[in-house]
Structure 1
Amino acid sequence: MTPAVFRSLAAQLAGPRWKTKLGPMIGKCRTQVWEYASGERKVPETVEKLMKLLSQSPDSTHQQRKEEP
Structure 2
Amino acid sequence: MADDVDFADARIEKELASALAARVIYSGESAHECECGEVISEGRRLAVPGVQECIACAEQAALKVRGVRRG
Same fold (TM over 0.5): no
Select the structure of larger CA radius of gyration. 2
- Say which structure, 1 or 2, has more relative contact order (CA 8 Å, 6+ apart): 1
Identify the TM-score tier after normalising by the shorter chain.
under 0.3
TM-score (norm 2): 0.26
TM-score (norm 1): 0.27
Which structure features the higher share of helix residues?
1
